[in-house]
Amino acid sequence: MSRKYFGTDGVRGKVGEHPITPQFVMHLGYAAGKVLAGTGDMRGERSGVLIGKDTRISGYMLESALEAGLIAAGIDVYLAGPVPTPAVAYLTRALRLQAGIVISASHNPFEDNGIKFFSGNGAKLPDETERAIETELDNPMQTNASDKLGKAKRIDDAVGRYIEFCKSTFPCEMNLRGLKIVVDSAHGAAYHIARHVFHELGAEVVAIGAEPDGKNINDGYGATKPANLQKAVVEHQADLGIALDGDADRLIMVDAAGKLYDGDQLLYIIARHRHAQGKLHGGVIGTLMTNLAFEHAMQKLGIPFLRAKVGDRYVMELLQQNNWQLGGENSGHIICLDKHSTGDGIISALQVLHALRGNNQSLAEAAADLHMYPQVLVNVKVTGKASSLLELQAVKDAVAEAEAALDGKGRVLLRSSGTEPLLRVMVEGEDGVLVKEWVERIAGVVRGLA
């Protein structure tokens, strides 16, 4: 059964437009509650669900709608307030709840929002559970009898619990003293968390992107807009910079000279360090977007490497299938399953810092051996279904011509976004001029048909 509402990362859209309306979200909470109600413990106690959110102004409205729907279905609700997406995953496990719900649209602008779910073990909700919730959405809401309604409780120590959890993933015999770090929280969910994690481990921290007003999340700051971080690192003469996205599950870093390092480069630093220590369990999972240079570097180190479809849920699936622990995307989603059940920007940064401290290297030195191939990505806005464009002969012909021109020394990848009305066109190869030429030609063909 195809899913009507759930995409690759929950239910997402523009606030006030279906499905991100208070009416639908209340019904979504109710449907999720009915599906989850049968997973409580054997003593007959009600099931419990944690709700966290980022700093978007619409989070208040959607939190109330979810809370009402869940309580109507007989579910106890635990409110964590603004916390990172991975904090919800952790707290759901720590509190032994049946599920966690995050109200966030990640790196999108504040006008968008979304609802995504975690299972009781802190992983993304299985496809079959999402389908069951969608099936339940076809039924009308019928509020439980008063004696079978849920209750709501605020978790006052959610932030402190999560800060301590993050710190626990860094070696206890190691500290960050002597390091000056600029931390950019994108005016998002980690604005009151990230700086404290690194400071309490000993670093001198300069915080930017840490003054949310409900409307400025991801606006000029964060992992998708790192220019202010690059500027701040140089101005403050910091050793490095750390940028998270709005819900803090994505990581980008900057060296002392202001140079950017993406998820592929950071994953390389972690993988090589663990491999050298004999602590890399199995291989590494990347995605279709992972740079060819990363794959070649893994081969040189003798580390097994596999590609998943784009999306952290698919990286997770391959990790679990192979019983491996480390994977990620070039966008900055990095998963370290020995540290957390999901991708976590703060914890990923700590794993990079572990490698830097362990090898007594700067960020630039640690990544120097990885020579990235030029990779250009162009997002083309579409009005219909993006995937249908991939079947058009003109698009197929353009891709074939590009592949012939690259002559086995590069790749072409076209894919539809799982969260936005976009067709992503990517070309990479050894020859940067050729890469740029062909990505523009293919994108031009797509625009003419979109």
Q: Residue 418 is part of a domain; what is its CATH number? A: 3.30.310.50
- Give DSSP secondary structure letters for 266-314: HHHHHHHHHHHHT---S-EEEETTS-HHHHHHHHHHT--EEEE-SSHHH
128 and 18 in a single domain? The answer is yes
Where residue 408 falls among pLDDT bands split at 50, 70, 90? confident
Alpha-carbon distance of 439 to 111, in angstroms, equals: 30
Of 346, 367, 388, the last residue of a domain is: 367
357 and 405 in a single domain? The answer is no
Instruction: Quick: pLDDT tens for 140-165.
Output: 999 999 999 999 999 999 999 999 99
Domain around 392: 375-449
Judge contact between 122 and 87, C-beta under 8 A: no
Task: Take residue 84 and report the two structure tokens written for it.
Answer: 């990172």
148 and 169 in a single domain? The answer is no
117 and 178 in a single domain? The answer is no
Q: Is the pLDDT of residue 419 over 80?
A: no
178 and 150 in a single domain? The answer is no
Of 157, 192, 222, the last residue of a domain is: 157
Sign of the C-alpha dihedral computed for residues 18, 20, 21 and 26 taken in this order: positive
32 and 78 in a single domain? The answer is yes
Alpha-carbon distance of 425 to 399, in angstroms, equals: 10
434 part of a folded domain: yes
56 and 148 in a single domain? The answer is yes
Mean pLDDT, rounded, for 59-78: 98
445 and 395 in a single domain? The answer is yes
Of 124, 142, 157, the last residue of a domain is: 157
Specify the pTM.
0.91
3 part of a folded domain: no
Which of the residues are catalytic?
A: 106
Q: What is the mean pLDDT of the chain?
A: 94
Alpha-carbon distance of 124 to 88, in angstroms, equals: 11
Alpha-carbon distance of 448 to 136, in angstroms, equals: 40
190 part of a folded domain: yes
288 and 243 in a single domain? The answer is no
Angle at 67 between CA 65 and CA 69, to 5 degrees: 70
Where residue 40 falls among pLDDT bands split at 50, 70, 90? very low
Where residue 4 falls among pLDDT bands split at 50, 70, 90? confident
Write the DSSP symbol of residue 148. Answer: G
419 part of a folded domain: yes
153 and 93 in a single domain? The answer is yes
pLDDT for the residue numbered 126: 83
74 part of a folded domain: yes
- Note the Cα 110 to chain centre separation in Å: 17
Judge contact between 43 and 13, C-beta under 8 A: no
Where residue 42 falls among pLDDT bands split at 50, 70, 90? very low
Among the listed residues 100, 121, 114, 125, the one whose alpha carbon sits nearest the alpha carbon of residue 50: 100
Q: Is the pLDDT of residue 428 over 80?
A: yes
Alpha-carbon distance of 108 to 154, in angstroms, equals: 27
294 and 247 in a single domain? The answer is no
Judge contact between 278 and 374, C-beta under 8 A: no
179 and 226 in a single domain? The answer is yes
2 part of a folded domain: no
Number of domains in the chain: 4
Assess whether the previous peptide bond of 212 is cis (omega < 30° from 0): no
Alpha-carbon distance of 52 to 33, in angstroms, equals: 16
Across-strand partners of 424?
Answer: 379, 415
Residues constituting the chain = 450
pLDDT for the residue numbered 43: 41
Alpha-carbon distance of 172 to 192, in angstroms, equals: 23
37 part of a folded domain: yes
Judge contact between 85 and 55, C-beta under 8 A: no
Helix (H, G, I), strand (E, B) or coil at 399: helix
4 part of a folded domain: no
Alpha-carbon distance of 290 to 8, in angstroms, equals: 18
Among the listed residues 101, 94, 17, the one whose alpha carbon sits nearest the alpha carbon of residue 53: 101
Q: If you compute the radius of gyration of the chain from its CA atoms, what whole number of angstroms results? A: 22
Instruction: Quick: pLDDT tens for 163-175.
Output: 999 999 999 999 9
Range name among 6-10, 136-140, 428-432, 446-450 with the lowest pLDDT average: 6-10
Judge contact between 173 and 223, C-beta under 8 A: no
Angle at 427 between CA 422 and CA 430, to 5 degrees: 160
Alpha-carbon distance of 199 to 204, in angstroms, equals: 6
Which residue carries 């008063």 as its tokens? 146
CATH code of the domain containing 54 = 3.40.120.10
**Crossing angle for the helix pair 22-36 and 127-137, to the nearest 10 degrees:** 120
Where residue 447 falls among pLDDT bands split at 50, 70, 90? very high
Judge contact between 285 and 326, C-beta under 8 A: yes
Q: Is the pLDDT of residue 39 over 60?
A: no
